[in-house]
Amino acid sequence: MKVTADEGTRVVLPSAKPGDSFDLQMPVAGTFILTRLEPVPPRPAVVRLEQRGAFTVGVLDRPINEQTLQEALAEFP
């Protein structure tokens, strides 16, 4: 199979899907070996409670995905 790099030095792999990760190895100059990596399973968020003024709030260890939040809230009447 032949693939060609574009102006941004990107190569499109026909069987790759958005979000796929690959390990790149270059054992010899001019030779590339790509190995598809298994996706990392999502881990539960760690929540820390903080006192902010008169309120106790939960603070996550990572940002909230707004699209996922909107999808979850759309399920409620």
Convert the pLDDT of each residue in 56-66 to its tens digit.
999 999 888 89
Bridge partner residues of 47 (DSSP) = 60
C-alpha atoms less than 13 angstroms from C-alpha of 12 in its C-beta half-sphere: 4
Contacts of 16 (CB under 8 A, 6+ apart): 22
Per-residue pLDDT of the chain (77 residues; tens, 9 = 90+): 788 888 988 888 888 888 889 999 999 988 989 999 998 888 888 999 999 999 999 999 988 889 988 988 998 87
Contacts of 77 (CB under 8 A, 6+ apart): none
Where in the chain does DSSP place strands (E)?
Answer: 21-25, 33-37, 47-52, 55-60
Task: Report yes or no on whether pTM surpasses 0.75.
Answer: no
